[in-house]
Amino acid sequence: MRDPLDDSHTAPKFAAPDPGALAAWYSQALGFPDVQVFLNGDYAIVRRGRLTLHRWKCAECKIAENTSCYTEKGTIGGLNALHAEWLERSRATGFAPGRIEAVPRDKPGHGMREFHVWDPAGNLIGFGAGMDGGG
């Protein structure tokens, strides 16, 4: 029997003081090609590949600053390529007030190489790949 979750993916919902502006940052700074803004900018959805992120309007910055998600890539090579692209974009576009870790780090305790991105609202997104997952 097939698992009912086989045809699903997770789409985190993050708080942001201005979801519409944050969606524009994801498009410009991270190259998300699919941006949808609703409710006069109070709700937004951004998509790139199989990653979908929802944003809802929330003036309380502490919520965003204490929220995160983790996205697993299939290979170390894919993770490194994504990091290199975004690091280059951060240098070219002035990523701030968002930021990206300068280098991916190996975390042998849980067998992952990973890096993190903080968006301008303070939300943290971790990206990782299994260190035994090939190139």
For the chain, the domains span 13-130
- The pLDDT score that the predictor gives to residue 5 is 83
- The mean per-residue pLDDT over the stretch 78-95 comes to 92
C-beta separation of 104 from 92 below 8 A: no
Q: CATH fold of 13-130, please?
A: 2,3-Dihydroxybiphenyl 1,2-Dioxygenase; domain 1 (3.10.180)
C-beta separation of 37 from 27 below 8 A: no
C-beta separation of 15 from 22 below 8 A: no
Position 122 pLDDT exceeds 60: yes
Confidence of residue 4 (pLDDT cuts 50, 70, 90): confident
- The pLDDT score that the predictor gives to residue 7 is 85
C-beta separation of 56 from 46 below 8 A: no
Confidence of residue 8 (pLDDT cuts 50, 70, 90): confident
Structure tokens at 133: 């997952």
- The pLDDT score that the predictor gives to residue 119 is 96
Position 24 pLDDT exceeds 90: yes
Q: Bin 74: left if φ > 0, else alpha if -120 < ψ < 50, else beta.
A: alpha
Position 10 pLDDT exceeds 90: no
Whole-angstrom Cα Rg for the chain: 15
